[in-house]
Protein backbone atom coordinates (compact mmCIF):
# COMPACT_ATOMS: atom_id res chain seq x y z
CA UNK A 1 0.00 0.00 0.00
CA UNK A 2 1.20 3.46 -0.83
CA UNK A 3 2.06 5.58 2.19
CA UNK A 4 -0.66 8.23 2.24
CA UNK A 5 0.54 9.73 5.51
CA UNK A 6 3.90 11.03 4.35
CA UNK A 7 5.17 14.04 6.29
CA UNK A 8 4.49 17.16 4.23
CA UNK A 9 7.72 18.73 3.00
CA UNK A 10 8.74 22.25 3.95
CA UNK A 11 7.56 24.85 1.43
CA UNK A 12 9.88 27.66 0.35
CA UNK A 13 8.46 30.09 2.94
CA UNK A 14 9.39 27.78 5.83
CA UNK A 15 12.93 27.86 7.23
CA UNK A 16 12.97 24.67 9.29
CA UNK A 17 10.99 22.26 11.40
CA UNK A 18 11.21 23.59 14.93
CA UNK A 19 9.30 20.79 16.69
CA UNK A 20 8.49 17.53 14.92
CA UNK A 21 5.23 15.59 15.30
CA UNK A 22 6.68 12.87 17.55
CA UNK A 23 8.14 15.42 19.93
CA UNK A 24 4.82 17.27 20.08
CA UNK A 25 2.97 14.03 20.72
CA UNK A 26 5.27 13.01 23.56
CA UNK A 27 5.00 16.43 25.21
CA UNK A 28 1.20 16.52 24.90
CA UNK A 29 1.24 13.10 26.56
CA UNK A 30 3.23 14.47 29.49
CA UNK A 31 0.97 17.51 29.81
CA UNK A 32 -2.12 15.28 29.77
CA UNK A 33 -0.66 13.10 32.49
CA UNK A 34 0.18 16.12 34.64
CA UNK A 35 -3.25 17.71 34.13
CA UNK A 36 -5.03 14.41 34.83
CA UNK A 37 -3.16 14.02 38.08
CA UNK A 38 -3.76 17.64 39.14
CA UNK A 39 -7.52 17.35 38.57
CA UNK A 40 -7.89 13.75 39.76
CA UNK A 41 -9.90 14.76 42.82
CA UNK A 42 -12.07 17.36 41.10
CA UNK A 43 -15.74 17.17 42.02
CA UNK A 44 -17.16 18.22 38.67
CA UNK A 45 -16.19 17.86 35.05
CA UNK A 46 -13.29 20.04 34.00
CA UNK A 47 -14.22 22.64 31.36
CA UNK A 48 -11.58 22.88 28.64
CA UNK A 49 -11.86 26.14 26.71
CA UNK A 50 -9.98 26.18 23.43
CA UNK A 51 -9.12 29.57 22.00
CA UNK A 52 -10.01 29.49 18.28
CA UNK A 53 -8.63 28.86 15.87
CA UNK A 54 -5.03 28.24 16.85
CA UNK A 55 -5.66 25.73 19.64
CA UNK A 56 -7.99 23.37 17.80
CA UNK A 57 -5.45 20.63 17.17
CA UNK A 58 -3.77 20.97 20.55
CA UNK A 59 -7.09 20.73 22.43
CA UNK A 60 -8.19 17.75 20.33
CA UNK A 61 -5.00 15.82 21.05
CA UNK A 62 -4.79 16.86 24.70
CA UNK A 63 -8.44 16.13 25.49
CA UNK A 64 -8.18 12.61 24.07
CA UNK A 65 -5.26 11.83 26.36
CA UNK A 66 -6.91 13.12 29.55
CA UNK A 67 -7.82 10.71 32.27
CA UNK A 68 -10.31 12.99 33.99
CA UNK A 69 -13.88 13.79 33.05
CA UNK A 70 -14.11 16.93 30.99
CA UNK A 71 -16.22 18.90 28.53
CA UNK A 72 -14.86 20.84 25.57
CA UNK A 73 -15.84 24.41 24.81
CA UNK A 74 -14.45 27.13 22.56
CA UNK A 75 -14.07 30.88 22.48
CA UNK A 76 -13.08 33.11 19.57
CA UNK A 77 -11.29 36.42 19.98
CA UNK A 78 -9.82 38.89 17.62
CA UNK A 79 -6.43 40.24 18.52
CA UNK A 80 -4.06 41.87 16.15
CA UNK A 81 -0.52 40.68 16.20
CA UNK A 82 1.77 43.64 16.52
CA UNK A 83 -1.00 45.75 18.05
CA UNK A 84 0.45 46.48 21.45
CA UNK A 85 -2.60 48.37 22.62
CA UNK A 86 -3.80 45.19 24.24
CA UNK A 87 -7.14 45.39 22.45
CA UNK A 88 -8.85 42.03 22.49
CA UNK A 89 -12.39 41.65 21.14
CA UNK A 90 -14.78 38.80 21.89
CA UNK A 91 -16.11 37.28 18.63
CA UNK A 92 -17.79 34.13 19.99
CA UNK A 93 -18.32 33.31 23.63
CA UNK A 94 -18.26 29.97 25.42
CA UNK A 95 -21.50 28.05 26.00
CA UNK A 96 -20.79 26.18 29.24
CA UNK A 97 -21.81 27.68 32.57
CA UNK A 98 -18.55 28.11 34.49
CA UNK A 99 -20.06 28.79 37.89
CA UNK A 100 -18.29 26.63 40.52
CA UNK A 101 -16.47 24.70 37.79
CA UNK A 102 -12.78 24.17 37.15
CA UNK A 103 -11.83 25.89 33.90
CA UNK A 104 -8.69 25.22 31.89
CA UNK A 105 -7.94 27.62 29.04
CA UNK A 106 -6.16 25.94 26.12
CA UNK A 107 -4.12 28.35 23.99
CA UNK A 108 -1.72 27.82 21.11
CA UNK A 109 0.94 30.34 22.04
CA UNK A 110 1.76 32.94 24.67
CA UNK A 111 3.18 36.00 22.99
CA UNK A 112 2.52 39.47 24.50
CA UNK A 113 0.18 37.95 27.08
CA UNK A 114 -2.75 40.20 26.10
CA UNK A 115 -5.05 37.35 25.08
CA UNK A 116 -4.59 35.26 28.20
CA UNK A 117 -4.65 38.26 30.52
CA UNK A 118 -8.00 39.26 29.00
CA UNK A 119 -9.41 35.72 29.19
CA UNK A 120 -8.35 35.05 32.76
CA UNK A 121 -9.85 38.34 33.97
CA UNK A 122 -13.02 37.79 31.94
CA UNK A 123 -13.54 34.20 33.18
CA UNK A 124 -12.92 35.13 36.81
CA UNK A 125 -15.99 37.40 36.71
CA UNK A 126 -18.09 34.29 35.97
CA UNK A 127 -17.45 32.78 39.42
CA UNK A 128 -15.65 29.59 38.38
CA UNK A 129 -14.13 27.36 41.04
CA UNK A 130 -10.71 27.83 39.40
CA UNK A 131 -9.15 29.14 36.20
CA UNK A 132 -5.88 27.69 34.92
CA UNK A 133 -4.07 27.93 31.60
CA UNK A 134 -2.25 25.55 29.28
CA UNK A 135 -0.26 26.84 26.32
CA UNK A 136 1.52 24.72 23.77
CA UNK A 137 4.20 27.34 23.06
CA UNK A 138 5.69 30.21 24.99
CA UNK A 139 7.75 33.07 23.57
CA UNK A 140 9.24 34.61 26.73
CA UNK A 141 11.13 37.29 24.77
CA UNK A 142 7.83 38.90 23.76
CA UNK A 143 5.91 39.03 27.02
CA UNK A 144 4.48 42.46 27.81
CA UNK A 145 1.93 41.53 30.47
CA UNK A 146 2.94 39.10 33.20
CA UNK A 147 0.62 36.08 32.87
CA UNK A 148 0.87 33.04 35.06
CA UNK A 149 0.74 29.89 32.96
CA UNK A 150 0.12 26.56 34.64
CA UNK A 151 1.15 24.22 31.80
CA UNK A 152 3.64 25.03 29.03
CA UNK A 153 4.48 22.66 26.17
CA UNK A 154 7.62 24.25 24.74
CA UNK A 155 9.54 27.48 25.14
CA UNK A 156 10.57 28.90 21.75
CA UNK A 157 12.58 31.88 20.47
CA UNK A 158 11.00 35.01 18.98
CA UNK A 159 10.26 33.65 15.51
CA UNK A 160 6.94 33.24 13.63
CA UNK A 161 5.81 29.65 13.84
CA UNK A 162 3.10 27.76 11.94
CA UNK A 163 1.59 24.30 11.95
CA UNK A 164 -0.23 22.16 14.53
CA UNK A 165 -3.06 24.72 14.54
CA UNK A 166 -1.00 27.88 14.04
CA UNK A 167 -1.28 29.80 10.79
CA UNK A 168 0.12 32.56 8.67
CA UNK A 169 -2.88 34.20 6.96
CA UNK A 170 -4.67 30.83 7.32
CA UNK A 171 -1.80 28.97 5.66
CA UNK A 172 0.04 26.01 7.17
CA UNK A 173 -2.48 25.48 9.99
CA UNK A 174 -2.75 21.72 9.54
CA UNK A 175 0.90 20.83 9.21
CA UNK A 176 1.62 17.97 11.66
CA UNK A 177 4.80 19.70 12.89
CA UNK A 178 5.66 23.22 14.04
CA UNK A 179 7.81 25.10 11.56
CA UNK A 180 9.63 28.40 11.67
CA UNK A 181 8.79 30.84 8.88
CA UNK A 182 11.19 33.06 7.10
CA UNK A 183 10.46 36.69 8.07
CA UNK A 184 7.84 38.04 5.63
CA UNK A 185 8.47 41.16 3.60
If residue 49 lies in a helix (H) or strand (E), which one and from where to where? strand 46-52
Alpha helices in the chain, H assignment, sequence order: 21-38, 56-65, 114-124
94 binds ligand 5GP (CB under 6 A): no
Residue nearest to Mg ion (CB): 54
If residue 19 lies in a helix (H) or strand (E), which one and from where to where? strand 14-19
Interacting positions 126-165 with Mg ion (CB under 5 A): none
- Toward Mg ion, which CB reaches closer, 42 or 160? 160
The catalytic position among 111, 117, 141, 167 is 111
Interacting positions 106-145 with ligand 5GP (CB under 6 A): 107-115
d(CA 86, CA 50): 20
Residues 184 and 21 sit within 8 Å (Cβ to Cβ): no
Q: Phi/psi at 32 (nearest 5 deg)?
A: -65, -40
Per-residue x/- track, 81-110, Mg ion (CB under 5 A)? ---------------------------x--
Kindly indicate which of the ranges 16-24, 30-38, 62-70, 159-167 contains the residues binding ligand 5GP, using the contact rule CB under 6 A. Answer: 159-167
111 is catalytic: yes
Amino acid sequence: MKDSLAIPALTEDLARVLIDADTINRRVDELARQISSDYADAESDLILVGVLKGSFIFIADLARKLNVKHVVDFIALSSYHGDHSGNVRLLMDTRENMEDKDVLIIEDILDSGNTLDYLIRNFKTRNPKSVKTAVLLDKPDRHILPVEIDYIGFTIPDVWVVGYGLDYNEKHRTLPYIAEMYPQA
